[in-house]
Amino acid sequence: MKKFQPQPGFVVQAYRFALDPNAAEEQALRSHCGASRAAYNWAVSWVRASWAQRAAEATYGIGEAELTPWRPWSLPALRKAFNEAKRTDPRFAGWWGENSKEAYSTGLANAAAAFDNYAKSKNGKRKGKRVGAPRRKSKRKARLACRFTTGAIRVEPDGRHVTLPRLGTIRVHERADDLRERIAAGTARILSATVRHERGRWFVSFQTEVKRDLVRVARPDAAVGIDLGVKHLAVMADSAGEIRYEPNPKHLDGSLKLLRLHSRRVSRRQGPDRRTGHKPSKRWEKADRERNKVHHRVANQRADALHKLTTKIRDEYGTVVVEDLNVAGMLKNRRLARQVADAGFGEIRRQLTYKGRRNATHTILANRWYPSSKTCSNCGAVKAKLPLHVRVFDCDACPLVMDRDENAAHNLAALAAASTAGTGVAGDLDAAKASKPRGADRKTRTTRPGRTAGTGRAGGATLPHQRREEARDRTQAEALTLW
């Protein structure tokens, strides 16, 4: 599929609505998602069959030129092969015509993308963890999803129904008047639609091209440093010196008692057993649905709270500084994993990033090795160790005593000032590197800006606190990364 390029002044935005299908419509939705999974499994088996055949022929000493040719995995090649096989393959005979062609195209497109990711990862051209070869999707575990790119895709004039290819008109749980009015005014158009079953409900997501005007934030010249944590979800210090504490709602902790109750009910009933093929009882399925409702409610509460927090921050400040936290590593700590997962650190950073692009504001990412908690926000001295249970920062070089999260937020806010001031401390990094072949980011100075030199030492030697200041400036320059 070709990647869509929005027109000038337009952005690609998704509108998501919950569906209220009846029994027949839900059966059709499941059939389309099952067809997508079947096409994906067929493509994976078709491509990997040539791999197994070549490996078997190589064991008999057959030369490279005489081996079975590699089967291509590009989307056009998969579509051509699938169209030839669907009429004769017994896995599709008799029922493939019941679903839209878009359902099979979804599975084939996902298979092509999976093989591309595997090839790029194997050749070292893909970032992140190593990606293995695509495998078949299990009917029991596969996520139900299907994408439509052509055909009748629209929001009905009443705003309470949507129309999808072959599925017909389905009622939506909430009114879709916002999208309908934008389409009628000519400021939006639908590119594709994706139906998905998650959290016990069916959803439809419309990918649209929407005209969006830039909204000026309340304080475009202000910067804020955000220190994320478990005790307080976010401690924010802005460039004016104001401190704000955002409490951690801890949605999961508030529902743990109810979750334990439902989990005990589930464990006392006859559940599925993969070893013996035993199917779950009706009472087990009912108890499992009740337990999942609690999980879904917690997830919805968390998503709502994070969106409100990040929107409020992005509507006020022109520059936001956040840390590049190693969330995956933090989740390995068995004492903090549940609290870290419930806080959603990675989701906060993701939302701050894309909402900043939407408002044309700046997002600064501090290196994960930048010692924001160990550095004194007053004199710049860096502590050698600061255990997590020590919640108060007590500087050894100056009389500063402050909450450690508040101190870290001040240091993050200082990164934003250093990046824009152009004083040579942490600003104008590109110009400094271009003019110095060895990559030095600043000249060594013996005093802090605004102070007079009076060391009283031969050769202009620097005092210990001045060396600490220079070390802090170099650390800030290395920690600064602009998005």
Q: Both 239 and 284 in a single domain?
A: yes
- The mean pLDDT of 255-282, rounded to a whole number, is 93
Angle between helices 23-59 and 101-122 (to 10 degrees): 40
Residue 50 lies in a domain: yes
Provide the token pair at 60.
């008999």
- Predicted confidence band at 64 (pLDDT cuts at 50, 70, 90)? confident
- The residue out of 57, 89, 122 marking a domain boundary is 122
Q: What is the mean pLDDT of the chain?
A: 85
What local confidence, expressed as pLDDT, does residue 162 receive?
Answer: 96
Distance CA 135, CA 114 (A): 9
What local confidence, expressed as pLDDT, does residue 215 receive?
Answer: 82
Provide the token pair at 235.
């401690």
Q: Both 331 and 472 in a single domain?
A: yes
Q: Both 292 and 196 in a single domain?
A: no
Distances (CA, A) of 58 to 48, 49, 458: 15, 14, 77
Residue 131 lies in a domain: no
| 406 labelled catalytic | no
For residue 427, pLDDT beyond 80: no
- Predicted confidence band at 454 (pLDDT cuts at 50, 70, 90)? very low
Residue 80 lies in a domain: yes
Q: Both 354 and 312 in a single domain?
A: yes
| 227 labelled catalytic | yes
Q: Both 298 and 232 in a single domain?
A: yes
CA geometry: angle at 44 spanning 40 and 46, to 5°?
115
What local confidence, expressed as pLDDT, does residue 357 receive?
Answer: 87
- The mean pLDDT of 160-165, rounded to a whole number, is 95
Residue 282 lies in a domain: yes
Residue 85 lies in a domain: yes
Instruction: Tell me the pLDDT tens digit for each residue of 96-135.
Output: 888 999 999 999 999 999 999 999 999 999 988 899 999 9
* CA proximity to 70, closest of 41, 49, 45, 42: 49
Q: Both 224 and 155 in a single domain?
A: no
Q: Both 87 and 232 in a single domain?
A: no
Cβ–Cβ < 8 Å for 397, 381: yes
Provide the token pair at 120.
């790029």
Q: Residue 371: is it exposed, middle or buried by C-beta count within 10 angstroms (0-12/13-18/19+)?
A: middle
Classify 235 as helix, strand or coil. Answer: strand
Domain count, the chain: 3
Distance CA 31, CA 25 (A): 10
* Owner of token pair 């990040």: 310
Instruction: Tell me the pLDDT tens digit for each residue of 352-371.
Output: 999 998 888 899 999 888 88
Residue 128 lies in a domain: no
Element spanning 443, H or E: none
Which of 29-43, 58-72, 195-209, 418-432 shows the lowest per-residue confidence on average (mean pLDDT)? 418-432
- The mean pLDDT of 447-470, rounded to a whole number, is 47
For residue 8, pLDDT beyond 70: no
Q: What are phi and psi of 395, to 5 degrees?
A: -70, 140
The residue from 405, 406, 428, 441 that is catalytic is 405
* Owner of token pair 């008109």: 169
Q: 317-323 and 362-366 as β-strands: parallel, antiparallel, unpaired? A: parallel
Write out the E strands in 8-63: 10-18
Q: Both 231 and 201 in a single domain?
A: no
Cβ–Cβ < 8 Å for 193, 206: yes
- Predicted confidence band at 465 (pLDDT cuts at 50, 70, 90)? low
- The residue out of 68, 90, 122 marking a domain boundary is 122
Classify 79 as helix, strand or coil. Answer: helix
The residue from 102, 288, 323, 441 that is catalytic is 323
Cβ–Cβ < 8 Å for 237, 409: yes
Q: Both 320 and 306 in a single domain?
A: yes
Q: Both 416 and 471 in a single domain?
A: yes
Question: pTM for the complete prediction?
Answer: 0.77
Distances (CA, A) of 245 to 233, 242, 343, 468: 8, 10, 15, 30
Q: Both 363 and 409 in a single domain?
A: yes
- The residue out of 69, 90, 122 marking a domain boundary is 122
Q: Which long-range contacts (CB under 8 A, 24 or more apart) does 158-163 make?
A: 162/17, 162/19, 162/193, 162/204
Distance CA 408, CA 376 (A): 8
Residue 338 lies in a domain: yes
Q: Both 307 and 423 in a single domain?
A: yes
Instruction: Tell me the pLDDT tens digit for each residue of 226-248.
Output: 999 998 999 999 988 889 999 99
For residue 277, pLDDT beyond 90: no
What local confidence, expressed as pLDDT, does residue 473 receive?
Answer: 58
Write out the E strands in 68-171: 145-148, 154-155, 161-164, 168-171
Distance CA 86, CA 88 (A): 6
Q: How far from each other are the two terminal CA atoms of the chain, in whole angstroms?
A: 28
Which of 7-11, 160-164, 438-442 shows the lowest per-residue confidence on average (mean pLDDT)? 438-442
DSSP state for residue 455 in the 8-state scheme: -
For residue 426, pLDDT beyond 50: no
Q: What is the dihedral of CA 274, 276, 277, 279, to 10 degrees?
A: -90
Q: Which amino acid is at 367?
A: N
| 64 labelled catalytic | no
What is the domain extent for residue 365? Answer: 219-446+463-483
What local confidence, expressed as pLDDT, does residue 455 receive?
Answer: 41
Residue 207 lies in a domain: yes
What local confidence, expressed as pLDDT, does residue 28 receive?
Answer: 95
For residue 144, pLDDT beyond 60: yes
Cβ–Cβ < 8 Å for 120, 53: no
For residue 425, pLDDT beyond 60: no
Strand order in the sheet with 154-155: 154-155, 161-164, 168-171
